[in-house]
Structure 1
Amino acid sequence: MPLMRIARPIAAVGATLLTALLVPPGANAAPAPHPACTARVPGAEYVTGACLADLTTAGTTVTGHTDPADWAGLEAPGAVNPSGVKGVQLDGYFPDTSTTNTNHGWNHDSQFVIRLPDHWNGGLVVAGPPGVREQYANDRLIADHVLAQGYAYAATDKGNTGARIHTDGRRPGDAVAEWHDRVTQLTVAAKRTAARHYGRAPVHTYMAGASAGGYLVRWQLENRPDLYTGGVELHGLLLTPDSPNVLDTAPAALRAYPRYAAGEPGALEEMYAAGYPEGTRPLWEWHYRNQWDSLQRIMREEIDPGYDGDREAGFPFCPAGVQPGCDTDYVYADRPRRVHRTVERLSLTGRIGRPLITLQGTLDTLLPISRSGDVYARMVEDSGRGGLHRYYRIADGTHSDGLAAPFPQLVRPMSPCLRTAFDALTAWTGPGGTLPPPSRTVPRPAPGSDTVNMCSL
């Protein structure tokens, strides 16, 4: 039975995807799906299946088996995706007590989607969404392209969604820790589901993701390498016990940017010192208004809820030095040891156990590259795992390809580079063992190149 949708504004954190209305038994009741169109997903509390003529967004947008609002703003204008992949889609959820994900009218977290193409190449790709989005967020960025190559695909909502993830769990950090468990849970379940569906287990399993999803690629390859052949990630969040990490980049910008905008002496140099280089200046206002404040308050409330007392997620856009508990004044290094222990529980180490390709744009203005990707690359090298890692700094790339529309002369889309990196990863881990190019800064192509759809590493 197709899943029907009621649209809501793109600015919402997650869109509501409703199931078809229930009807009483009788002549108007929809027929039960054919047994071949559904499957049991190990550990799932509920699963519904559908045989679809097209598992890509070209088809699922029409049939209601994706959520366009979940991937809105992540794509550059002119992006061309493949289509026409016939197969089975499974939607469902694992047992969970939180209810932040309202997709399908289920009001139930730990939702997932599994797509099983008819023409399978023997592989599986697993993804977690960026930010606090839901399970369909990677449908344009990752799913369409790997499905067209014949991979089965599985994605999770990470176990909690939206701006109030901090309400999930019993202690600080539990919501993020659940992200780890839900990716592992889905990977195991999707492998078994694919094995039952096709009659043989996947030969290769890859992890892919961006931002928070990129953080999860790193975490899985560090902590559960037994489950994967390798991974590819785009500008992953960085969590480490000490600075720099995701909790201390945004506050510096929130303090300095208003002073810079007001023309105050020294503010520009403060922005540079905080990791936001000269080339990112045109992007500062947009990030101040749309991302720095929300990212800081969401992650800080999850990890350090005591900072603002009993208030939930602080005071939006509070000026520095005025309001106690203001995230603009947040200094991670000064927080109590218990906060650092929470971050330590969630932290990355660089000790990857499978091949990993990392990409980050030099104009990333949400997670500055010198405080994020560059740091993680050194962590991998310092842990002795450099041979398993490639790190490509993409000149003029930023954190969201959606910014290519308002800043077409400045921003280079990252999504085609992610796809090229995925192909490089599969060649690296495949029968030929073709090594990817050495880590480097990838220059912007010549003017007139199709940077929206093509990328060479």
Structure 2
Amino acid sequence: MLKTTRPLAVAAALLMAATLGSTAASAVPESDSIAASPCRVRVPGAERVIGACLADLTTAGTVASGHTDPNDWAGLEAPGTVNPSGIEGVQLDGYFPDTSTTNTNHGWNHDSQFVIRLPKKWNGGLVVAGPPGLREQYANDRLISDHVLAQGFAYAATDKGNTGELIYRDGRRPGDAIAEWHRRVAQLTVAAKRVAARHYGRRPATTYMAGASAGGYLVRWQLENNPGLFTGGVELHGVLFTPDSPNILDTAPAALRAYPKFRDNVPGGLEEMHAAGYPVGSEKIWEFHYRNLWDSLQRTMREEVDPGYDGPKEAGTPFCPPNTITGCDTDYVYADRPAAVHEAIEKVSLTGRIKRPLISLQGTLDALLPITRSGDVYARMVDDAGRGGMHRYYRVTNGTHADGLYRAMPTVVQSMSPCFATAFDTLAAWTRNGTPAPASRTVPAAPEQADRINDCGL
């Protein structure tokens, strides 16, 4: 049914896998279902659906039963993270009609896959999520699904319609692959609401959007553009797309130019990195990001919106020295690209004009999407759009982009997972009970004796 569980490698390999994607597939035995017939719930618009009644919808149960994929969240959480368990219910796996085939889960080789989980004890709410990076529909099972299921929410997640490092092959025009993400979130949200109504006998009273990184970007976009589908949202270090700087296409190339100077002790290298937004205190994780993330992420995103930069090549040339070849990754300057490139970005850009309550979080040591070039900027965009009253922004001291880095820096890094859980509960209380969310602020560093894995000072 799902992909086989491979042995986990070193932290760097885990985070790389968690950011970019994986491919293997296998099957789940029928005996993992408690019963067959009560679990065959139709999903409107889906081309294929399989259902299972499970004794535990959380990862404590679905890893063993094969109804999730641990590779999808590998590297995203700190070792020792404690999640709830024991939530009985129904799981639906399926896909909507689509022409691309990058997602190999279940042996389907079919994109626009989804998972819907319906807990037996339902609180009347629904949570919808899109995966971080270029991952698939199970990527948020630890960060989001386990927590919200334990609160009684139904849960639905999409693979966004395309996965892996070759997403730019999907669609006909620059930006089409990213634009599909928006449609797939809306499509699943509408379908999941109808599924819940049929399964429980009433429609969800509240529907929340939640996500991290690329999934966080989707939360922002949906609350700006599809507010009628959602009650509110919570996002963690969302990717920022804007027609002008800053965005992912100018922060990463700046790091590719400056980091080798810092590494090789060239005068000015450290100052250039800090000037590009990479935070003081994150220096120890720059080498990992240089080798595994900055180049690969910006090449994939660049090929999607600016395929002409490197001519007939697909996604450039990794780690090329500056000014050595035409279309070198390191030489890319977004501000100098033609108007058509900026127009492709504009059609997937954010505006800050949210129309539903939103809680945003970002770690101050984020070295993939520097906070001063990402979360801080979006918060200003929301304020400038006159929507600050429905936005809360919490800057988490010592948080990074992926909690898997905690293994290498346990005395420095704050896990973001418990902060995200607290933020979600805060959003639910804000929108369900009218309990005001605390004012935006910088969350101070946790004391040395604190549990930096499972507690958050938010």
Question: Could you state the TM-score of these two structures normalised by the residue count of structure 1?
Answer: 0.96
Q: Which residue of 2 aligns with 1:68?
A: 70
Give the counterpart letter for 1:399 in structure 2: H
**Secondary structure of residue in 1 paired with 2:51:** strand
The alpha-carbon deviation at position 8 of structure 1 amounts to 4.2
The alpha-carbon deviation at position 280 of structure 1 amounts to 1.2
Give the counterpart letter for 1:261 in structure 2: R
Q: Which residue of 1 aligns with 2:219?
A: 217
Matches within 5 A, 1:224-235: 224-235=226-237
Give the counterpart letter for 2:454 in structure 1: N
State which of 340, 345, 368 in structure 2 corresponds to 1:343: 345
Matches within 5 A, 1:49-448: 49-430=51-432, 432-448=433-449
CA RMSD of aligned residues (A): 1.6
Range with bigger deviation, 4-13 or 118-127? 4-13
**Secondary structure of residue in 2 paired with 1:195:** helix
**Secondary structure of residue in 1 paired with 2:393:** strand
Q: 1:9 to 1:242 in 2, by over 3 A?
A: farther
Q: Which residue of 1 aligns with 2:452?
A: 451
**Secondary structure of residue in 2 paired with 1:358:** strand
The alpha-carbon deviation at position 403 of structure 1 amounts to 0.3
C-alpha distance in 2 between matches for 1:159 and 1:21: 27
C-alpha distance in 1 between matches for 2:421 and 2:89: 22
Give the counterpart letter for 1:380 in structure 2: V
How many residues matched?
448
Contact 1:357/1:390 (<8 A) preserved:
yes
Q: Which residue of 2 aligns with 1:25?
A: none
Structure 2 residue 7 is the aligned partner of structure 1 residue 6: no
Contact 1:255/1:328 (<8 A) preserved:
yes
C-alpha distance in 2 between matches for 1:49 and 1:164: 30
Contact 1:127/1:208 (<8 A) preserved:
yes
Give the counterpart letter for 1:452 in structure 2: I
Range with bigger deviation, 117-126 or 441-450? 441-450
Contact 2:2/2:69 (<8 A) preserved:
no
C-alpha distance in 1 between matches for 2:288 and 2:168: 25
Residue-by-residue CA offset, 1:146-184 (whole Å, 9 max, x unaligned): 001110000000000000000100011100000000000
Contact 2:32/2:65 (<8 A) preserved:
no
Q: 1:94 to 1:309 in 2, by over 3 A?
A: same
Give the counterpart letter for 1:119 in structure 2: K
In percent, how many aligned pairs have the same letter? 72
C-alpha distance in 1 between matches for 2:2 and 2:287: 37
Contact 1:314/1:325 (<8 A) preserved:
yes
Residue-by-residue CA offset, 1:122-141 (whole Å, 9 max, x unaligned): 00000000000000000000
**Secondary structure of residue in 1 paired with 2:148:** helix
4+ residue runs over 6 A deviation:
29-32
C-alpha distance in 1 between matches for 2:33 and 2:64: 20
C-alpha distance in 2 between matches for 1:32 and 1:311: 50
The alpha-carbon deviation at position 15 of structure 1 amounts to 4.3
C-alpha distance in 2 between matches for 1:20 and 1:385: 47
State which of 41, 46, 51 in structure 2 corresponds to 1:39: 41
Structure 2 residue 27 is the aligned partner of structure 1 residue 19: yes
Q: 1:285 to 1:5 in 2, by over 3 A?
A: closer
Residue-by-residue CA offset, 1:262-301 (whole Å, 9 max, x unaligned): 1111111111110012211111111111110111111001
C-alpha distance in 2 between matches for 1:86 and 1:223: 34
**Secondary structure of residue in 2 paired with 1:279:** coil
C-alpha distance in 2 between matches for 1:399 and 1:76: 12
Question: Could you state the TM-score of these two structures normalised by the residue count of structure 2?
Answer: 0.95
Contact 1:222/1:353 (<8 A) preserved:
yes
C-alpha distance in 2 between matches for 1:76 and 1:404: 6
Contact 1:125/1:153 (<8 A) preserved:
yes
The alpha-carbon deviation at position 308 of structure 1 amounts to 0.4
C-alpha distance in 2 between matches for 1:436 and 1:6: 41
**Secondary structure of residue in 2 paired with 1:76:** coil
Q: 1:4 to 1:338 in 2, by over 3 A?
A: closer
Contact 2:5/2:69 (<8 A) preserved:
no
**Secondary structure of residue in 2 paired with 1:171:** coil
Contact 1:17/1:67 (<8 A) preserved:
no
Question: Where do 5+ consecutive residues of structure 2 fail to align?
Answer: none
Contact 1:235/1:359 (<8 A) preserved:
yes
Contact 2:33/2:53 (<8 A) preserved:
no
The alpha-carbon deviation at position 222 of structure 1 amounts to 0.1
Contact 1:420/1:456 (<8 A) preserved:
no
**Secondary structure of residue in 2 paired with 1:41:** coil
The alpha-carbon deviation at position 191 of structure 1 amounts to 0.4
Give the counterpart letter for 1:301 in structure 2: E
Q: 1:32 to 1:7 in 2, by over 3 A?
A: closer
C-alpha distance in 1 between matches for 2:269 and 2:33: 65
